[in-house]
Structure formats: C-alpha cells, structure tokens
Amino acid sequence: MRHLLLKDLQILRRSPLVSALLVIYPVAIAILIGFALSDEGGKPRVAFYNEVPEDEAFNVGGAEEDLDRGIARDELCDRVECVDVDSREEAEAKVEDGEVLGALIVPEDILDKLQSLTSLNPEQPTVEVLVNEDDPVKAQLVDDRIQALITEANLILAQRISESAEVYLNVLIEGGDFDIPLLGQTFSVLGLDNAATILEEAREELPPDSEAAKQIDQVIEFAELAGDNLDFALPLLGAVASPIEVDKTVVSGGGTSLDSFAISVAATVTLMFVTVLLVAGSLALEREENAYPRLTRGLISPGALLAEKVLLGAVASLVVTLLMLAGLSLFVSIDWGRIGLILLAIVMGGAAFAAFGAALGGAAREVRASSLLAFMVSLPIAFLSLVPSGTVGPAVYDVIQVVRALFPFDPALDAMSAALDDAAPSIGLPLLHLAVITLAYGVLARLALRRFN
C-alpha cells in the first residue's frame, strides 16, 4: 500500500494543474473568507445625510441628556457603516453607483416635529430613505435593515419620552420645580404628598364632627389614593418603553458563533471538493490506465487498494485543510489549542469524503466522468446541508434531513464546528456518523470495483 500511495503522490506531483489547484484553492478560499469575516463585522454601508443644524438639540421635559444630531448619528452608525455625505445629490449618486446599500436623509425639521410629540399639536417626524432596488435580494435586505433602524430609533424616543413622563409624575407626587422649555418658565409644584400632609395638619385644627373636617378628609383620601396610583404608573411607563423583553433559550444546535460557522463551512467545502475529486479521479485512473487488473491479480487486494485511496484522500485533505485554516488565522482568531480535535475532525471527515469519492470513482470508471459526477453530486448536497430549518416546509425539510444523513457533508460540518468552537455541541456524535458513512461508502465502492475487470 505504501508503494501505491507514493505512486499516487508522484502522479499528483507530475500534474501541475491539479497540484496548483490543491494549493491555490484553499489559499483563495482562506483569503475570501478571511476578508469577508474581517470586514468591520460585515456591516452594510449606508450613506448618511443630516440636515439638522449642528447647534439644535431635542429635549423632552427633564430628560438627563439632549437628543442632538451627534447622538442620532452614533446610534445609527453603531448598526451600519455610515458614509457621511454633504448633499442629497451625493447620497443619490452613491446609491445609484452601488457604493452604498442605501441612504438615510434626516430632514432639517425633524427635531421640531419630535418636540411636537410632547405638545398638544403633535406632528409625525419623517426620515427619507433612498434605495437601489436593482436586485430583489438586496432590496429585501435594505428594507429589513432600514425597518430595524427605524424600530430602534422609535424605541429610543419612547424611552426618552417615558423618562420625561416619569419626571412629570414625580413632580406631581412629591412636588418640586417644573421647567417648561417652550415658555422659558419654571413653576413650583406642591405635589400630592405635600398637599396631603398640609391638609392633615389643617384638619387637626377643625372640630372632628364638623362639615369642613369631613370634606377635608375626602380631599386627603383623594390625594393619598392619587399618589399611590401614580406610584404604580411609574413601572408601567417603563414597561411601555420596552413592552417586550427577549429571554432566549437555545433548545437545539448549541451556540456556535457566526465566525466559527463560516470557517467550518469553508473548511468542510474545501475538504469535500479536494478529497472527493482526488479520490474519485485517482480510483478511476487505475482503470483508465488498465492497471487495476494487473494490480488485483495477486499484487494487492481490491480492499487494500480502496484503503490506499482513502488514505491518499485523508492525507491530501489534511494538508490542504490545515493550509486553509492557517491562511484564515491571518484574518480571524482560530483556537489552535484545539488542534487535536481539529485534526480528528479533518481526518474523519476526509476519510468519509474519500470513501464517498471512491464509490463515485468506482461507479464512473473514467477520470473525466468521475470528476463531473463528483462535482454534480457534491455541490447540491452541500447546499442542502446549509438549508436552515423553518425556511422550507416540514415535509421538504424531512427529505433534506434524510439526504443530509446519507452524505458526509453534514456530519463533517458538525465535527468541524465542534472542533473549532467549544460552544458548539459535542464532536462525538458527528464522528460516529462519519465512521458509519465511511464504512457504508467503502462497501459501496468495493461493490463498484467488481465492474472494473
């Protein structure tokens, strides 16, 4: 087997195109994924044109800080990459050129309209959004992003208004000074608690059974009742500002980070293509070169030949995938302390893909046909394995689950995720799954070899 393995590596070395692809492919994937992951968190670029004068601010009642144009920009740019522009025309040009996903224009009068929300004549504030909907997917993405931003802005305003209302209520209950910015005046308010205290003191000076004492008792009772009820209103205002609080519980799938998942997908796709194409082609080559009958008439058994091909696939995939991960580590952080698990995932995944490739190579029997078959079968399975639950109907998803279970991509991806990220589910089950798949495709490949003679 050792001699055959060396022979295959020699042949690989003599095929410059294949050898170059084996090096270039993982490096290219690493660079692409690396740039994608290190691109400032992948925030969409949005042009931002603010027509609000720099010295204007918005304050509701006694809120602790003003809402000015700087705060609005900070809130926005925390969620998207802002590209500041100086005019509406510039914003339009950037959207048309595709330089930005969309543009947000904040009109000059927005602070006045926001201020009016606390008056008796409220006006609806409006922001303008420019989008380029030449691509339906992009259009949907922009809609979702803008909607999320507006919801976020509304929530911030609701919180500020709620905070102001709390100040008003506290003044009504406890008393104190009260500013009215529009009038530029400050009022001193007695407060319900203080009113009740004053009335109780006044009542003690009246005859107990007098009509006036009874009336004062009624007013005292009202003041206390009003104070108590307004106390209850304070937490209610907080609830209105954030009516729904999210309490997330993960019931399935663990907590793999998006970065780890992207690296796992890249590594598994690399593992799949390199191993399946190499092993399928290498096995088909034995027949195409007419060497198979010569080898198996006593020099080596068909089973040993298959084992050699699986070993070849595992070795090549190990080198290529490690090369890719090393390239990726220039862009993103990879926990090399988990190298043992990473090697295990690559070797087991590589073996399963190699057995799968051997079955394809045995079925196709010609190098070109095997390469085409490997490509045509592998790609759709990889896509199916990335379909999230809930995005298709239950019956279709059940079918997808069966397909996933029958091919190595899904367990290889799970194993790679578990190896790269300790937040992912355990690696044990995917490795067991890969072992079963390796065995099953090994048997299928052995059956396919019967057609080689």
Partner 1 sequence: MAADDQAVIQVRGLSKRFGERWALRDVSFEAHRGELLAVIGPNGAGKTTLLSILAGIRAPDEGEVSRAPGEIGWVPQQAALYRRLTVAENLMLFARLEGVDDPGAVVEEMLEQTALRERRDDQVITLSGGNQQRVNIAIGLLARPPVLLLDEPSSGLDPRQRARLWEFVNALAGGGTTVIFSTHYIQEAERYGDRLLVLADGERVFDGSQQELHQAVPESGARDFEEAFVAFLRERGH
Contact footprint for partner 1 (CB under 8 A): 3-4, 7, 10-11, 14-15, 289-291, 293-295, 297-300, 453
Q: Is 310 exposed, middle or buried (0-12, 13-18, 19+ CB in 10 A)?
A: buried
Write down the least CB distance from residue 282 to partner 1, Å. Answer: 11
Closer residue to partner 1, CB minimum distance, 298 or 393: 298
- CB under 8 Å to 225, separation ≥6 — which residues? none
Write down the least CB distance from residue 314 to partner 1, Å. Answer: 21
Closer residue to partner 1, CB minimum distance, 283 or 431: 283
Write down the least CB distance from residue 450 to partner 1, Å. Answer: 12
48 secondary structure, DSSP code: E
Closer residue to partner 1, CB minimum distance, 121 or 290: 290
Are 437 and 413 in contact by the 8 Å Cβ rule? The answer is no
Write down the least CB distance from residue 19 to partner 1, Å. Answer: 12
Tokens of 436: 């079963």
Write down the least CB distance from residue 311 to partner 1, Å. Answer: 16
Question: Any alpha helices (H) in 107-135, and if so which ranges?
Answer: 110-116
Write down the least CB distance from residue 374 to partner 1, Å. Answer: 20
- For 218-260, the DSSP string reads HHHHHHHHHHHHHHHHHHHHHHHHS---------SSTT--HHH
Q: How far is CA 226 from the centre of its chain?
A: 48
Closer residue to partner 1, CB minimum distance, 7 or 451: 7
Closer residue to partner 1, CB minimum distance, 15 or 389: 15
Q: CA angle, corner 191, sides to 60 and 204, nearest 5?
A: 180
Give strand pairing partners of 131. 102
Closer residue to partner 1, CB minimum distance, 214 or 294: 294
In the three-class reduction of DSSP (H, G, I as helix; E, B as strand; rest coil), residue 290 is classed as coil
